[in-house]
Amino acid sequence: MSQQSERSDQPGRKPFLYVVVCAAGVARDVDRLLVAAREAGWDVGVVATPQGLGFLDAAAVEARTGYPIRSGWRAPGDPRPFPDPDAIAVAPATFNTINKWAAGIADTLALGILCEAYGLGVPTAVLPAVNSHLAQHPAYAESLARLRSMGVRISTGAPHTPRSGDTADFPWEEVLELLAHGPDSTAR
């Protein structure tokens, strides 16, 4: 039995959601997703890309989740700071992260976790934050198609393209809906 299913079967334990945060302006409002996830019954840990880390209020995120933000690899022998994930939400997901992930490039902790999730069968949902100009690049469409073929649940809306400083309309809760209503919905 995998650690993932063992963890989910433990009485009194909430399912654990990894929230992968990339370097997009809307990332500063990730607390909206963290609150929604906790209200939906998830325990949550945040994994930030190295650049995404700079968009977060680390103290506020850690106070909200009760876990340190992960961004770099842990040293051999160090304890694992999070339980294994029952699901992963990537929000906001940038052009760079989406393309590297689809290509199997695992040069950061966040990308390593995402690439490994496929082999582990961890349900994963993505809420892109990509401007309309980047979204026209052929590599982006190919990357989304590859991720969908891997079972990744991706928002079907247009790429979110906020104006500078405008984050109010980013649909944070949609990533939780994708996890709840996807073909391989997680058991919560």
CATH number at residue 152: 3.40.50.1950
Instruction: Give residue 150's domain range.
Output: 14-74+82-181
Walk along the chain (188 residues) and give the pLDDT tens digit of each residue: 334 444 455 667 899 999 999 999 999 999 999 999 999 999 999 999 999 999 999 999 999 999 999 999 999 999 999 999 999 999 999 999 999 999 999 999 999 999 999 999 999 999 999 988 899 999 999 999 999 999 999 997 756 665 555 556 789 999 999 999 654 444 43
Going from the C-alpha of 46 to that of each of 19, 106, 166, the distances in angstroms are 5, 18, 23
- Asked whether 154 and 126 are in contact (CB, 8 A), the reply is yes
Residue 186 included in any domain: no
Residue 5 included in any domain: no
**Is the whole model's pTM more than 0.75, yes or no?**
yes
Task: Give exposure, 40-53, as e/b (b: 16+ Cβ within 10 Å).
Answer: bebbbbbbbbebbb
Domain count, the chain: 1
The SS3 call for residue 126 is: strand
Residue 26 included in any domain: yes
